[in-house]
Structure 1
């Protein structure tokens, strides 16, 4: 889920940045380096610094030429929520499941969580149900539910399922709806 949050933190501005930029531009540049594209356990994925709301007077650090500012700013973040239903695009298929791009990262649907059928993997990166003959391939759009989240510095894991009513490849869902009408 996407969020706009207010954050307060100290940021170090390199004095060389102040030669070509205003203080606000230099602070925003320093915040971009410190936050953007990084994963924060509380915030999730920091996608963008939106606005600087307030800043303190700068002070020099001891044995450091940098200028430090206490800054309050707005960020756009994305954080997965347990039991959240999300749309995604299959980005890779492996013998144990499918990776789904769900925004700034990929989640994994284990082969046992793709459908209520035995699923076989083929070398041409396709997963197919034995009885249903349903096929899942790269670039398919799916609707999945987040069932597990692990955000750690060494790696983030998001586990997904499509084995519940209303979940699955969008084409399957459209076909089911058309059959029921």
Structure 2
């Protein structure tokens, strides 16, 4: 989920920016050091929107930079457990599909792609259902649900996804399911 957050941090402005406007230097340092990073309690910071407070201006021993305590507003993406998301398949492996959801990639394990058994078609770099009716390949757009989320930092984060329920998967899978349900409803109505 995308959020606007009030955040605070201590930011180091490098010595080459001494003498410049303090607010501009702080905004530049925040952009460089905060945007694109993962924070456990905030998710991925996409952009610093506004600096609301700059305090301090401390010099630390053996550091030519100046450190400021800063409060700012940022736009962040924080994935939430059970959230339904749309994304693009960006990689296919024998163990599943990686799906880009916003600024992050999540893994949909082969056991979570569909109810049928899934085989890897290495020649065409795609996953294929046992019946051969459904395929999943790079560039496909899918709807999935987050079943595990762990956002600690850049080196340790994971998002696990599932497409094994009605209304999830590729658009044509969803349409096929709806057609099958309509046929079943018609058969029940005839009885």
- Contact 2:166/2:177, CA 8 A, preserved across alignment: no
* Aligned residue in 1 for 2:73: 74
Question: Which residues of 2 match residues 3-82 of structure 1 at below 5 A?
Answer: 3-19=3-19, 21-82=20-81
SS at match of 1:92: strand
Deviations 1:110-169 (A, max 9, x none): 111111111111012111112361111111100000001123443321100000111111
State the TM-score, normalizing by the size of structure 2.
Answer: 0.86
Gaps of 5+ in 1: none
Could you tell me which residue of structure 1 aligns to residue 186 of structure 2?
none
Q: Could you say what secondary structure the match of 1:16 adopts?
A: helix
1:84 and 2:83 matched = yes
Say if 1:68 and 1:170 are closer, same or farther in 2 by CA, change over 3 A: same
Distance 1:178 1:163 in 2: 17
Offset of 1:65 from its aligned partner? 2.6
Secondary structure in 2 aligned to 1:158?
strand
1:90 Cα offset (Å): 0.5
Judged with a 3 Å threshold, the aligned counterparts in structure 2 of structure 1 residues 63 and 155 are, in CA distance, closer, same or farther, namely closer
Pair member with larger Rg: 2
The residue correspondences of 1:1-181 to structure 2 (distance < 5 A) are 1-19=1-19, 21-123=20-122, 124-131=124-131, 133-153=133-153, 154-177=155-178, 180=182
Counterpart secondary structure, 2:18: helix
Per-residue CA distance 1:39-96 (angstroms, 9 max, x = gap): 1111111111111011124233334332222111011111110000000000011111
Counterparts of 1:112 and 1:63 in 2: how far apart (Å)?
54
How many residue pairs get aligned? The number is 180
Alignment check: 8 A CA contact 1:117 1:132 kept? no
**C-alpha contact 1:9 1:70 (8 A) present in aligned 2:** yes
1:171 CA drift (Å): 2.3
Assess if the C-alpha contact under 8 Å between 1:9 and 1:71 holds in 2: yes
In the alignment, the residues of structure 1 paired with residue 95 and residue 139 of structure 2 have an alpha-carbon distance, to the nearest angstrom, of 18
- Superposed structure 1 runs of 4+ greater than 4 Å apart: none
What secondary structure sits across from 1:25 in the alignment? Answer: helix
